[in-house]
């Protein structure tokens, strides 16, 4: 582990590898994951993370809405004291779920790569008869904001969408943060050869969408690698600093501190990409 003064304060817990979409660039297929933790094992890890000093928990997948105990995990995390965040493709996000769980969720990250249905189809953003377009995403954004939850939008830039202009939509959607990421290669997890873009092409996208620069944070591949602390569906820390995953022993077996020593991460990179932005936001307070 890179020795630094401070630990990265946010952690991404990939609670499932199951997904109802098949995005071609996805690096979270977790081909080496053969089993899942049960909800009590997941809660044990979440509690260990909180008392180890982490303050933001991001529940992700796969698609986290495919996990039956998802609501239970969100509630438990918020009751512990975490700033709670989830990332979803939006297809399973219902008004009923938000009505029942909004008080436990500080932020929802909505994955939006394109407003064009044909482009989303090429990327693999398809679920049954749903191929998202601008109208679909407008509906999802309004649903989140109407529930009193902060909206974040995540966009992965690849060959398929690098010429698009999303800035007008972003400004109308009113996210607190628009995270724009260069498509990332992870050996053994994805094959992005046909989707890869150069740094210059990525920069062109940034410039083309500069109208939304006040909410945009962009991350080139080199800043992505090592700037996140992540946990796989089997409860192990992993990193992507060497173009492939390095995986720790199970957290529930060896503890947070020892497991962290088995991966690499950079708090300096985390700060550079303003990963601690959430500390300036208001976290929901609930009775335990």
- Split at pLDDT 50, 70, 90, the class of 5 is very low
- Split at pLDDT 50, 70, 90, the class of 158 is very high
Instruction: Quote the pLDDT of residue 2.
Output: 38
pTM strictly above 0.75: yes
Residues facing residue 219 across a β-bridge? 181
Q: Which residue has the higher pLDDT, 30 or 72?
A: 72
All domains in the chain, ordered by first residue: 10-279 (3.20.20.70)
pLDDT at 6 over 70: no
- Of 31, 66, 172, which is closest to residue 112 (Cα–Cα)? 172
User: In the structure encoding, which two tokens stand for residue 7, read together?
Assistant: 């630990």
Whether 206 and 218 have beta carbons less than 8 Å apart is answered as yes
Instruction: Quote the pLDDT of residue 288.
Output: 53
Helix/strand/coil percentages in the chain, nearest 5: 35, 20, 45
- Please state, in angstroms and rounded to a whole number, the distance separating the CA atoms of residues 278 and 165: 26
- Please state, in angstroms and rounded to a whole number, the distance separating the CA atoms of residues 288 and 158: 43
For 7, what's the count of Cα atoms within 13 Å in the CB-facing half-sphere?
17
Alpha-carbon torsion, ordered 172, 176, 178, 179, to 10 deg: -170
- Please state, in angstroms and rounded to a whole number, the distance separating the CA atoms of residues 269 and 163: 27
- Please state, in angstroms and rounded to a whole number, the distance separating the CA atoms of residues 286 and 25: 38
- Please state, in angstroms and rounded to a whole number, the distance separating the CA atoms of residues 110 and 175: 10
pLDDT tens-digit readout, 231-258: 999 999 999 888 889 999 999 999 999 9
For 32, what's the count of Cα atoms within 13 Å in the CB-facing half-sphere?
15
Tokens 């992700």 belong to residue: 60
- Please state, in angstroms and rounded to a whole number, the distance separating the CA atoms of residues 168 and 211: 8
pLDDT tens-digit readout, 63-117: 999 999 999 999 999 999 999 999 999 999 999 999 999 999 999 999 999 999 9
């Amino acid at each position: 582990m890179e020795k630094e003064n401070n630990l990265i304060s946010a952690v991404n817990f990939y609670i499932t590898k199951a997904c109802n979409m098949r995005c071609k660039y996805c690096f979270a297929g977790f081909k080496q994951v053969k089993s899942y933790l049960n909800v009590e094992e997941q809660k044990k890890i979440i509690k260990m993370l909180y008392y180890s000093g982490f303050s933001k928990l991001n529940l992700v997948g796969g698609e986290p809405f495919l996990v039956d105990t998802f609501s239970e995990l969100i509630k438990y995390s918020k009751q512990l004291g975490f700033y709670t965040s989830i990332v979803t493709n939006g297809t399973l996000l219902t008004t009923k779920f938000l009505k029942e769980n909004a008080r436990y969720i500080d932020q929802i990250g909505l994955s939006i790569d394109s407003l064009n249905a044909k482009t989303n189809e090429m990327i693999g953003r398809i679920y049954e008869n749903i191929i998202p377009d601008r109208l679909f995403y407008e509906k999802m954004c309004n649903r989140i904001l109407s529930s009193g939850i902060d909206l974040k939008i995540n966009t992965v830039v690849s060959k398929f969408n690098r010429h698009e202009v999303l800035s007008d939509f972003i400004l109308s959607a009113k996210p607190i943060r628009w995270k724009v990421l260069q498509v990332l290669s992870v050996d053994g997890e994805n094959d992005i050869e046909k989707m890869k873009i150069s740094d210059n092409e990525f920069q062109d996208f940034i410039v083309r969408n500069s109208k939304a620069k006040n909410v945009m944070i962009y991350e080139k591949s080199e800043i992505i690698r090592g700037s996140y602390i992540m946990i796989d569906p089997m409860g192990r820390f992993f990193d992507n600093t060497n173009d492939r995953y390095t995986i720790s022993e199970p957290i529930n077996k060896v503890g947070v501190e020892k497991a962290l020593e088995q991966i690499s991460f950079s708090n300096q990179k985390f700060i550079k990409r303003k990963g601690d932005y959430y500390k300036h936001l208001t976290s929901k307070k609930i009775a335990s």
